């Protein structure tokens, strides 16, 4: 049996005025996604357990079958796992964004989607200025980087500090959304000092000349310690791979024993190599039982409030990934199951994640249609099928149990 998990990050949305009250999923030309919904079971699930923020780390842990209440320890260490950064006992890893702040307003959570090459130069500048025996900065992909505190005297304080993701406050005041708690002063001091360091950096001077948003500050959030999770094969009896451009997703894969596949041209943005991801998924299925394919472009479009880009990303996901993978599985003529769902909503109206229940579609051998006509929010709302906890879906995919009726 072959198993495929397809995740268009943040694909779910609210009705959009410019689309005549329809959502991007309702407008997009996505025949293959609709095929899965029409010919499979569609239901409702919660990827964000009670008490957790609607974040991609929590949601994707749930989707992969890991209860966040048991296994979640923060976003930073998950990304560190894919970056080859060793997190020792007592270390605290933070996500470190390059952002653009102007007149105390968070103008851009991604510093104009700065390139990895530019960002690597700036992280070196920040590390040289602010790094120490106990503080290290590491470059990642695009605007996404890490800071690790090895100061054991700060561990408890940092873990108790509340930090807000920068994409949650785009267009809002920074001062009111700075870290709060016992470690706040330490973090705010680093963020403030980074502004002076980045102000004179040549990379930023060039970006300003080109009328691009400069990376004029770091933003620290998503802290956590080293996680302890059982291997995917031990939980579900199968091995496989994970395809994503995002360190967070690939880091989860490394920790649970799934092989992260590096697809050339995968960027985590609109220009990512959709076709390459589809091709790598098929290659992986030639030797593995399971593959997880994640696309970030849909989420980025939601954060940017870019309706047309979200529609385009959905159509590329459908054309270059969903379609070829389904065609391959059909031609292979061996049993298979496919699970497809967004990890959370990222509505273009609100430009950030919301905790609305999402919908899933499961298609393949032994799965009967429950009469839902399309992979859209409105159609899925007609379903009587539910899984209250998304972390049960993986067991459902690889097992023989069927979804339970939703309590009205």
Average pLDDT over residues 32-59: 96
Q: Cα(first)–Cα(last) distance of the chain, in Å? A: 34
- Identify the pLDDT of residue 333: 84
Give the neighbor-by-neighbor strand order of the sheet with 2-8: 259-261, 240-243, 290-295, 2-8, 336-341, 358-364, 41-45, 385-387, 404-405
- Identify the pLDDT of residue 402: 42
**Distance separating alpha carbons of residues 319 and 283, to the nearest angstrom:** 17
**Distance separating alpha carbons of residues 53 and 68, to the nearest angstrom:** 11
pLDDT of residue 400 exceeding 60: no
How do residues 306-339 score in pLDDT, each as one tens digit? 999 999 999 999 999 999 999 999 999 899 999 9
pLDDT of residue 16 exceeding 60: yes
- Identify the pLDDT of residue 201: 95
pLDDT of residue 404 exceeding 80: no
Burial state string for 133-166 with b = 16 or more CB within 10 A and e = fewer than 16: eebbbbbbbbbbbbbbbbbeebbebbbebebbbb
Tokens encoding 7: 């995740």
Percent of the chain with pLDDT over 70: 98
Tokens encoding 389: 């906890």
Q: Which secondary-structure segment (H or E) carries 146?
A: strand 144-149
- Under the banding of pLDDT at 50, 70 and 90, the label for residue 399 is confident
**Distance separating alpha carbons of residues 157 and 150, to the nearest angstrom:** 13
Nearest to 299 by CA among 354, 242, 373, 357: 354
Phi and psi based region of residue 305 (left: phi greater than 0; alpha: psi -120 to 50; beta: remaining)? left
How do residues 242-292 score in pLDDT, each as one tens digit? 999 999 999 999 999 999 999 999 999 999 999 999 999 999 999 999 999
Whether 93 contacts 239, CB under 8 Å: no
Q: What is the DSSP letter of 43?
A: E
- Identify the pLDDT of residue 229: 93
Whether 229 contacts 257, CB under 8 Å: no
- Identify the pLDDT of residue 405: 47
Average pLDDT over residues 345-372: 97
Nearest to 408 by CA among 63, 46, 44, 47: 44
Tokens encoding 370: 């429950």
- Under the banding of pLDDT at 50, 70 and 90, the label for residue 408 is very low
Q: How many CB atoms lie within 10 A of CB 213?
A: 20
Residue 154 CA: distances (Å) to CA of 148, 149, 166, 187, 218 = 12, 8, 23, 11, 20
pLDDT of residue 406 exceeding 50: no
**Distance separating alpha carbons of residues 403 and 6, to the nearest angstrom:** 19
Mean pLDDT rounded to a whole number for the chain: 95
Cα angle vertex 96, ends 91, 100, to 5°? Answer: 160
**Distance separating alpha carbons of residues 123 and 138, to the nearest angstrom:** 7
Average pLDDT over residues 372-388: 97
Q: Which of 25-29, 71-75, 344-348 has the lowest mean pLDDT?
A: 71-75
How do residues 179-229 score in pLDDT, each as one tens digit? 999 999 999 999 999 999 999 899 999 999 999 999 999 999 999 998 889
Q: What is the DSSP letter of 258?
A: P
**Distance separating alpha carbons of residues 2 and 291, to the nearest angstrom:** 9
pLDDT of residue 401 exceeding 50: no
pLDDT of residue 407 exceeding 60: no
Whether 252 contacts 55, CB under 8 Å: no
How do residues 137-160 score in pLDDT, each as one tens digit? 999 989 999 999 999 999 999 999
**Distance separating alpha carbons of residues 257 and 231, to the nearest angstrom:** 6
pLDDT of residue 54 exceeding 90: yes
How do residues 69-124 score in pLDDT, each as one tens digit? 999 989 999 999 999 998 999 999 999 999 999 999 999 999 999 999 999 999 99
- Identify the pLDDT of residue 227: 86
């Amino acid at each position: 049996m072959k198993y495929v998990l397809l995740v268009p990050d943040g694909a779910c949305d609210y009705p959009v005025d410019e689309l005549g009250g329809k959502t991007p999923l309702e407008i997009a030309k996505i025949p293959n996604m609709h095929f899965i919904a029409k010919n499979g079971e569609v239901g409702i699930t919660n990827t964000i357990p009670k008490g957790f923020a609607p974040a991609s780390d929590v949601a994707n842990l749930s989707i992969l079958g890991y209860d966040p209440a048991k296994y979640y320890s923060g976003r930073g260490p998950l990304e560190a796992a894919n970056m080859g950064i060793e997190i020792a006992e007592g270390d605290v890893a933070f996500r470190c964004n390059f952002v653009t702040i102007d007149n105390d307003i968070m103008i851009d959570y991604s510093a104009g989607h700065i390139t990895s090459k530019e960002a690597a130069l700036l992280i070196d500048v920040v590390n040289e200025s602010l790094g120490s025996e106990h503080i290290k900065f590491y470059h990642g992909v695009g605007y996404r980087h890490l800071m690790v505190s090895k100061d054991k005297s700060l561990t408890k304080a940092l873990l108790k500090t509340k930090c807000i993701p920068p994409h949650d406050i785009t267009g809002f005041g920074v001062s009111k959304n700075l870290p709060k708690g016992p470690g706040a002063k330490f973090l705010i001091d680093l963020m403030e000092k980074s502004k002076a360091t980045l102000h004179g950096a040549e990379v930023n001077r060039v970006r300003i000349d080109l009328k691009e948003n400069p990376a004029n500050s770091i933003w620290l959030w998503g802290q956590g310690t080293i996680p302890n999770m059982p291997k995917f094969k031990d939980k579900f009896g199968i091995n496989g791979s994970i395809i994503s451009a995002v360190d967070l997703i690939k880091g989860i894969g490394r920790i649970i024993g799934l092989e992260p596949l590096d697809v050339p041209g995968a960027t985590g943005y609109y220009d990512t190599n959709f076709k390459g991801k589809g091709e790598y998924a098929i290659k992986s299925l030639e030797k593995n039982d399971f593959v997880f394919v994640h696309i970030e472009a849909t989420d980025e479009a939601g954060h940017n409030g870019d309706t047309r880009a979200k529609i385009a990303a959905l159509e590329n996901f459908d054309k270059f990934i969903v379609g070829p993978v389904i065609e391959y599985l059909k031609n292979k003529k061996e049993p298979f199951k496919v699970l497809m769902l967004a990890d959370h909503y990222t509505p273009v109206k609100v430009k950030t994640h919301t905790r609305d229940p999402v919908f899933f579609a499961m298609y393949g051998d032994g799965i009967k249609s429950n009469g839902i006509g399309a992979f859209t929010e409105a159609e899925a709302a007609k379903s009587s099928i539910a899984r209250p906890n998304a972390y049960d879906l993986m067991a459902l995919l690889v097992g023989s149990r069927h979804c339970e009726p939703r309590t009205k």
